[in-house]
Homo-oligomer: A and B are copies of this chain.
């Protein structure tokens, strides 16, 4: 089986309903642009227009270019996730591979035209969009009202939920993004990210394993440091 089909299958599995007619299915297959990206490679969508991206394999960041040398990471996405890349407006956006990736990219208008009759696909897209909105709102709350320490705690808890693996009672994660990516996601500098992680290590809340590995030693304490009003325990 070729690489494209290998990437398309998980998309179909996750987004297209099983009973979907052969023509529509082939329509999506024809519309999908297969994008293998090496680590650090970017997808630019210079052609304008909104796009829909599916991560078949790997991990990506969605970056907004606010101005010269001021980028904001809008979201991280992992294998199996579907999301929208905005049409360039006040900012330009690009998708960048955190590690080797296989993506499927669709022009949003075409995707929606194909999906128009298929409620389940529209519903799937709605659910993905709602999840993105949910995460974006939480990010806005963190950026607007949280201290550096709280943002790091929120970030680690979120990553633990998404890519953490339980290992002898502890949650362990392998961060695919650099300190720079984290700082650009949290509205901080790399120095501040580093200092906050060091503090968590000094306070025995986390352990670090090499550059990317993190083990959460005390999740309760981390939640407390996240400064949530609810579920503070």
Contact = CB atoms under 8 A, between A and B. Distances in A.
A137 B136 contact: yes
A94 interface: no
A137 B74 contact: yes
Given A65-B229, A187-B143, A122 B117 contact: no
Given A72-B145, A145-B66, A90 B228 contact: yes
Nearest to A133: B133
B67 A227 contact: yes
A218 interface: no
B72 A144 contact: yes
A84 B137 CA distance: 11
Interface in A201-233: 226-231
Interface string A178-193: 0000001111000000
A23 interface: no
A103 to B, nearest CB: 19
Interface centre among A122, A126, A139 (most CB of B within 10 A): A126
B187 A72 contact: no
10 contacts: A64-B137, A68-B229, A72-B140, A88-B230, A89-B138, A91-B229, A92-B229, A129-B133, A136-B137, A144-B186
Interface of A: 64-68, 70-72, 74, 84, 86, 88-92, 112, 116-119, 122-123, 125-126, 129-130, 132-134, 136-141, 143-146, 154, 184-187, 226-231
